[in-house]
Structure 1
Amino acid sequence: MQSTIGKAFCLTATVLSLGLCTGAFADPVAHFDFITHAPDSDAWWNTVKNGIRQADQDFNVQTDYRNPPNGDIADMVQLVNQAAARNYDGVVLTIADYDLLKGAVTKLKAKNIPFITSNTGTEQQSADLGAIMHVGQPEYLAGKEAGLRAKAAGIKTFLCVNHYATNPLSFERCRGFGEAIGADTKASSLDVGTDPTGIEAKVSAYLRAHPDTQAVLTLGPTSADPTIRAVTKMGLAGKIWFATFDIDPDVAKAIKDGTIKFCTDQQPYLQGYIPIAMLAIMHKNHNTDVVAARTELEKDPKFMKRLESYGLKPVYEARNISSGPGFITPQNIEKVSALAGSYR
């Protein structure tokens, strides 16, 4: 994927013009903005970008992917303000911090710019902000579903390795898991930052100081990969109960060799593709009828073929689309691992 790096007003942000960078077309029918809270270092978002890029090609639109390079939520708010000033045809944004974003989205509404929320945030928060719809994974539910699997295995104590504690919703994953097994979530959560060496050291130190820890839960590849190294070096691989969110090649390998029990999958490709596809369809039809746009998308043979090829399963609700949770286990890892980092 080609990209352009630019400065947005006074705020430096990573900007990927995902539509025109492909060179597939020269005259897009609409120009959208996809704003996330993710730092440049988080490679998990590459799969989201692949979904955005494919939707751009399928619907002949251009989407700018913009994010604060260091993951600063306050900077993300400024990107939303800029989106309103630039009069995009539509915006997609993550609800990294509801309280900080609710003021910024009023500027989108004042300009009558339709927007969809994706990835983080709850469906209620999305509705309260005035978004057309939400595409994402209910975080508390995902954590709870993972925790119920742990409870069935007899787990009562755990460590939640949180690499993005700046996002309030990250704690919902930990809380859902902790409440499912009856553990003290606050005492079990560790803010580790994003530096791989630092994460490995912090996890190792915690497990040495708390040898009665039965399970480890990581919230994504950024924390999972260093934690895999930590438990392996400590001789705990396959012995400590280990689950994670989101997949990458290292997580896939760890599932295959028994280090990780399962991966909770929120299907990031869908979080990129569906919002842009919905905005494109509604722009073409000159309305914001979610049901009609979703019906049109479901009849699109290209979209349905990709769902089948990539093993993706969105859950359609009255207003929103849930992209997860699903579970990647030893039983389905062979198919999924071939797609990890690209479409899964």
Structure 2
Amino acid sequence: MRKLALAALVAAAIWVPQGLAFASSTIIMVTHSPPSDTYWVSVIKGLEQAGKDLDLSVQYRGVENNLNDPNQQRRNLEAAIAAKPDGIIVSDPTPSSLNATIKKASDAGIPVILVNQGGDQVANVGALAFVGDDPGTQGQMGAAQFNSFGSRKALIITAPPGALPFLDARTNGFKKAFKGTSTLAEIPLSDFNNANRIKSITESELQKDGSIDAVFSIGGCCITAMMQVRSDLGERARDIHWGTIDMTASAIRSLKSGELDFALDAQQYAQGYYPVVMLDLYVRQAIRPAEARLITGPVVITPSNVNHIEATGR
């Protein structure tokens, strides 16, 4: 019934007279992650459902390994521009590498929505808007959770400072808001897809400092490895609080088992769905988003409310 109600709502909001629908419109999403990544699986579900609801052709084009090769994302974006779609949705995790190409799309008259990363780059690339969340806020909300637990020493599983702007924002947001002290488990970007390497670096930092009572993963890349570390710690793990940014299948399992204290849900299904609606309205009715940013999250998910998330199938 909820799906039927949503479909009816969308239909009512975007109805146009018969003969004026753009059923052949094509929208391409280009991101920094492979379609197999558990975070982006939910984004793609939203993208595809919006395509079905609005009778549009939608395509997802990701890279082979998450975040490892901005050049591959740029090449995928260039190919998308050459295809001359009716709209492009693109993530912008590395503005220095991607902005010039994104602007080529908007300069060519292809409407662009930034998604997931790049919330501060809308004007720079001529995009209509950004759909996603604010990385600094994500870090601050994570810190607030640990503050509520009374944690005093946090280990942040993240990339080395300067590796990626949005990860720096998450890390700095956490450090700014956390009432205790913090240290970093620095994961090179080349190891973001290597759970064994993430686990080894994290365990090494925990062994160095027995006072650590909070561990915070900066993104979906590291959740599985972090939970493996928790398992290996045995009794000590019970004296540590565990939290993460991003909802993934691993995070849901760990929340249900009570091993993970919280996860910050970016509500990424909406990151796939809303940009399609925005582009469709712009193409058909020249309706521009009134605000430069549409924030989808984060919201805090805990063992007490995770079952509702799982029940949605997203």
Please say whether Structure 1 and Structure 2 have the same fold, judged by a TM-score greater than 0.5: yes
CA distance in 2, matches of 1:230, 1:189: 13
- The code of the aligned residue for 1:267 comes to Q
CA distance in 1, matches of 2:145, 2:165: 24
**In the alignment, which residue of structure 1 is the partner of 2:16?**
none
- The code of the aligned residue for 1:331 comes to S
**In the alignment, which residue of structure 1 is the partner of 2:205?**
206
**In the alignment, which residue of structure 2 is the partner of 1:313?**
none
Which of 140, 145, 154 pairs up with 2:150? 154
Which of 289, 298, 312 pairs up with 1:325? 298
Question: Sequence identity of aligned pairs in percent?
Answer: 24
Partner-residue secondary structure (3-state), 1:323: strand
CA distance in 1, matches of 2:248, 2:158: 17
Are 2:222 and 1:223 equivalent residues in the alignment? yes
Task: Give 5+ residue unaligned stretches, structure 2.
Answer: 1-21
Q: Is the 8 A contact 1:249 1:337 kept in 2?
A: no
Per the normalisation by structure 2, the TM-score is 0.84
**In the alignment, which residue of structure 2 is the partner of 1:270?**
270
- CA gap of 1:163–1:258, structure 2 versus 1, over 3 A, is farther
CA distance in 1, matches of 2:110, 2:128: 11
Q: Is the 8 A contact 1:159 1:215 kept in 2?
A: yes
266-275 vs 251-260, which deviates more? 251-260
- CA gap of 1:196–1:160, structure 2 versus 1, over 3 A, is same
Residue 136 of structure 1 deviates from its aligned partner by: 0.4
**In the alignment, which residue of structure 2 is the partner of 1:20?**
none
Which of 39, 52, 57 pairs up with 2:52? 57
CA distance in 2, matches of 1:271, 1:167: 20
Residue 41 of structure 1 deviates from its aligned partner by: 5.4
CA distance in 2, matches of 1:78, 1:330: 41
Alignment of 1:189-200 (within 5 A): 189-191=185-187, 192-200=191-199
- The code of the aligned residue for 2:152 comes to K
- CA gap of 1:117–1:149, structure 2 versus 1, over 3 A, is same
Residue 145 of structure 1 deviates from its aligned partner by: 1.5
**In the alignment, which residue of structure 1 is the partner of 2:173?**
176
Q: Is the 8 A contact 1:35 1:79 kept in 2?
A: yes
- CA gap of 1:56–1:257, structure 2 versus 1, over 3 A, is same
Higher helix share: 2
Query: How many pairs are equivalent?
Result: 286
CA distance in 2, matches of 1:120, 1:264: 16
- Over residues 36-71 of structure 1, what are the superposed CA-to-partner deviations in whole Å (9 max), with x where a residue is unaligned? 011455222101010011011011111121122134
Are 2:77 and 1:80 equivalent residues in the alignment? yes
- Over residues 223-271 of structure 1, what are the superposed CA-to-partner deviations in whole Å (9 max), with x where a residue is unaligned? 1112111111111333211101122333223223332111101001000
Residue 153 of structure 1 deviates from its aligned partner by: 2.5
Q: Is the 8 A contact 1:163 1:222 kept in 2?
A: no
Residue 163 of structure 1 deviates from its aligned partner by: 6.6
**In the alignment, which residue of structure 2 is the partner of 1:334?**
307
RMSD: 2.2
Residue 200 of structure 1 deviates from its aligned partner by: 2.0
Q: Is the 8 A contact 1:163 1:223 kept in 2?
A: no
- CA gap of 1:156–1:226, structure 2 versus 1, over 3 A, is same
CA distance in 2, matches of 1:212, 1:196: 24
Partner-residue secondary structure (3-state), 1:161: strand
Which of 26, 30, 33 pairs up with 1:38? 33
- Over residues 267-296 of structure 1, what are the superposed CA-to-partner deviations in whole Å (9 max), with x where a residue is unaligned? 0100001101211222222x14224xxxxx
CA distance in 2, matches of 1:99, 1:38: 18
Alignment of 1:1-344 (within 5 A): 28-39=23-34, 42-70=37-65, 71=67, 72-122=69-119, 124-162=120-158, 167-181=164-178, 187-191=183-187, 192-235=191-234, 236-285=236-285, 287-291=286-290, 318-339=291-312, 342-343=313-314
CA distance in 2, matches of 1:234, 1:189: 16
- The code of the aligned residue for 1:55 comes to A
- The code of the aligned residue for 1:220 comes to G
- The code of the aligned residue for 1:36 comes to T
Per the normalisation by structure 1, the TM-score is 0.77
Task: Give 5+ residue unaligned stretches, structure 1.
Answer: 1-26, 292-317
- The code of the aligned residue for 2:177 comes to A
Residue 210 of structure 1 deviates from its aligned partner by: 2.2
CA distance in 1, matches of 2:79, 2:304: 46
Q: Is the 8 A contact 2:278 2:288 kept in 1?
A: no
- CA gap of 1:251–1:201, structure 2 versus 1, over 3 A, is same
Partner-residue secondary structure (3-state), 2:165: coil
